[in-house]
Structure formats: structure tokens, C-alpha cells
Amino acid sequence: MSKRSAVILILLSTVLAPLGAIGFGYHVIEARAETDFAMGIFPVAVNYQFNFPVPDLIGGSMTELAFRLDNGLDFRTLRQNPEDGSFYACTGADHTLDYMVLYDEFRLLFNQGFWNDRFTLGVSIDGRFENAYESIAFKGQGDEGLFWDPDGNQRFDSFSGAPELAGGRSIFQTYVSAELGVDLMDDGIVTKDGLSFNSFFRITGPWMPLSDGSGDFLLSHNSLSVAKTLFSVSRSSGLEWFSVVLEGDFTYRYIHGSKVPLYVQGGELWPTWAPATEHVFTGEVSATFYGPQLTADTYLGISLFAGCGWSLGSALNSSQSGINEFVSVYGIKAELMVLDVLSLYWDWGFVNDPAFNEPQRAVSRLGFTFGV
């Protein structure tokens, strides 16, 4: 059976199996824009979920069987030399590092909640297509690209440092994933108190069915969020005139593997990055001024934030080892949330301790996201 036929069979089984029941659900988790495309005004990616009708196995807690599809464009920066995995921030580069990825990721997932959904366990079978292009700034021969030099020659001969870019710059990987969640957060939209924790595991390798062998890794991504409302002033309508909330978000990511695609490497810490090593810690604390609430889900928020990242161990897709690198940032974020659907944002950040030899710099961005 060909790969295409096998995928068709899986998808048809997924869609047709629950036809005997009524009550499909469907929602958009998020639509994203990219600041590199039309100032971030127009969407270029969407993540949506089909919920199959299954009864709750435990009273008061949700049982979820769903098919999730994430589709769109992603604009990326290559941090490591594809030929040997060395960090460009150490060695420098004489060409652009930006490129663009067209992707589709699907997940067939099962989640079960416990104790009124305060505790959640989930497993999923996943797959991901990717195809990498030059960035939208690249216009053809004579232009400076990542994959092509101005003479129209391929820039790299091998891709051990970026295995997903080898060959036709195309991958198809399948995975097994598991997720654990704890939700003890009292989230009143503009007031927050408590904590939440999430732990995500994903594994793949050449032994996975249908996979093209371009990925071989074990991922553990763990995140903790804590929040405390310092004070708030309520209106007679029950809405808030304003509130001040102190928040902290912390992650620990561990990856072990010989072929780790860039999308899973993590280490995001806007407006910079923590180098992709085996162990990466990131943390951000913020104080947010919310208000006024125009409706229950329409409000303005302005945050002052400071963050740091710490990378330890061997570099991914590279023989470089013994890395111990610290980065830190601070800045301000402003967001107008409309009906809990549309978010317009403007962010400004300063990288005061960048990775390796990169210079200090300030970055700003303007855009929007929406979801229901």
C-alpha cells in the first residue's frame, strides 16, 4: 500500500467511523498572522479541531476524541549551519537566515479529564508535512537567499545540522504524543489567581509507520503558569474598571535525538531565542494593567515583562557539546482583545543579554490573532 493510500485510509476511517452518531463539533483554536507578511494584518495559518461525539466517561469531567488540523505558513530563522550544526551566533553568516515553511500537522487525540477537569490526561497519533521555501523577500536569481546564492547555485551540500531541509526540503513525519495537564487557575479574564501546569511528550523515529525517517527524537516540554491579582476596581455591572495582575510563565524542554526538526526545538523567548540544546529553561514574569472592560470579553491590557533563558548540554543536530548559555530580555506588550475573539497587539522588547556573540537590540511588532 502506498503512503498516500495509507494516509487516505486513516483519514477516511477517522471521519467515517463516528457517522453513526450525531453531534459533530468543530471550532477554530487559533488563526495566526505573521509580521513578515503584510505587517501581520492578514492571517496565514489556522489551527482547527473536529470533535467526535463521545459520552463523558467520568461524570463532571470531559472526555474528548478529536481530530486537530494545523495548516499554514511559518516564517523561520535558521540558527545553525545546516552542514555541521554550528551556531551562526558564534561563527557568523554571510547570507540571510530567514526562510518560510508551508506546513500541515494533524493530530488524532483522546483526552480524559478528572476531578472536574482539574487534571487531564491525553494521548494522540500525529503527523506533519512540511515544505521549506526561501523567504518572501527572496525574488530569484541575483538575490540573496538562504538556499540559493546570487549566482543561482545551491548554498549547502549537506544538511546534517538541519535534517528537515535535506533533499527536496520536504518532510512527512508521524509521532506518538502524550499530555498531562493540571488546572488550578481561577481565570476571570482580567483577574487571575492560581497555577496551571502542562507536560507534553512526543516521540518519533524511522520505526514509525509512514514516517520518512527525517525525524528521530524524544521530546519532553513542561510549562508552569502562576498568577496573582494584586488589586482590582469593579464597576456596578460586575465588570472591572481596571486590575493589576502579576504573572509568571516557566518552561523546561528536554530533547534527546539524532534528527530534531526546527519546529520542535523550542526555546522561544520573544524577542530573542535560547540556543537549541538538550536542556532549555525559559521564564517570563509580567505585571499587567487590565482595563477598562468594555464588555465581559472586550478589554485593553498593557504588560511590563522581563524574561530569561538558559541552554545547557549538547547542541541539537550537532557534535558541539558543553554549552552553557544565558539570555535575558525585557519590554512592554499592549493588547486590545475584542469579544475574546480578535486580539490586536503591539509589542516592544529589548534583548539586553543576547545569545553568544549577537548584539543587543530592540524589536517591535504589530499584528493580530483570533480564535473561538
Provide, rounded to whole angstroms, the least separation between the CB of residue 160 and another protein: 18
What does the per-residue mask of binding to another protein show for 32-71, with x meaning CB under 8 A?
Answer: -----xx--xxxx-x-x--------------------x-x
Closest separation in Å from C-beta 129 to another protein: 4
Q: Which is nearer to another protein, 72 or 163 (CB)?
A: 72
Residues paired with 218 in a beta bridge: 203, 256
**Shortest distance in whole angstroms from residue 329 CB to another protein:** 28
Render the burial of 287-303: b for 16+ CB within 10 Å, e for the rest.
Answer: ebebbebeeeebbbbeb
Backbone φ, ψ for residue 91 (5° rounding): -100, -20
Stretch that binds another protein, among 4-12, 83-91, 220-228, 349-357 (CB under 8 A): 4-12
Do the beta carbons of residue 206 and residue 163 sit within 8 Å? no
C-alpha cell at 252: 523546561
- 271 HSE (CA, 13 A, CB side): 21
The sign one gets for the Cα dihedral 8, 13, 19, 24 is: negative
What are the residues whose beta carbons fall under 8 Å from the beta carbon of 232, sequence distance 6 or more? 190, 191, 240, 242, 243, 244
Q: HSE-up of 53 (CA within 13 Å, CB side)?
A: 8
C-alpha cell at 364: 517591535
What whole-number distance in Å separates Cα of residue 96 and Cα of residue 83?
16
Q: Binding pattern to another protein, positions 213-242, x when CB under 8 A?
A: ------------------------------
**7 contributes a contact to another protein by CB under 8 A:** yes
Please give the residues from 161 up to 180 whose contact with another protein meets the rule CB under 8 A: 167-170, 172
Q: Which is nearer to another protein, 45 or 285 (CB)?
A: 45
**For another protein, the closer CB: 104 or 358:** 104
Of positions 88, 119, 148, 242, contacts another protein by CB under 8 A: 148
Of 54, 185, 244, 294, the one binding another protein (CB under 8 A) is 294
Contact 113, 119 (CB under 8 A): yes
Burial 103-121 (b: 16+ CB within 10 A, else e): bebbbbbebbbeeeeebbe
Dmax over CA atoms of the chain, in Å, equals: 68
Q: Which residues pair with 183 in a beta bridge?
A: 196
Q: Which of 66, 73, 264, 274 binds another protein (CB under 8 A)?
A: 73
Contact predicate 224/197, CB 8 Å: yes
Place of cell 510549562: 223
Q: Is 29 in the site for another protein (CB under 8 A)?
A: no
If one asks whether residue 209 binds another protein (CB under 8 A), the answer comes out as no
Stretch that binds another protein, among 30-38, 81-89, 107-115, 251-259 (CB under 8 A): 30-38
Q: State the nearest-atom distance from the C-beta of 320 to another protein, in Å.
A: 27
Q: How far is the CB of 307 from another protein (least distance, A)?
A: 29
Could you say which of 9, 13, 17, 24 contacts another protein (CB under 8 A)?
24
Site size with another protein, rule: CB under 8 A: 62
Closest to 369 measured CA to CA, from 12, 21, 47, 27: 47
Instruction: List the Cα angle 200/309/261 in 5-degree steps.
Output: 50
By CB under 8 A, tell whether 289 contacts another protein: no
Among 1, 22, 157, 231, binds another protein (CB under 8 A): 22
CA 125/CA 237 separation, integer angstroms: 46
Q: Is 129 in the site for another protein (CB under 8 A)?
A: yes
- Write out the residues near another protein by the rule CB under 8 A: 3-4, 7-8, 11, 15, 19-20, 22, 24, 26-28, 31, 37-38, 41-44, 46, 48, 69, 71-73, 100, 102, 104, 106, 129, 131, 133-134, 136-143, 147-148, 152-154, 167-170, 172, 294-295, 298, 338-339, 341-342, 344, 370, 372
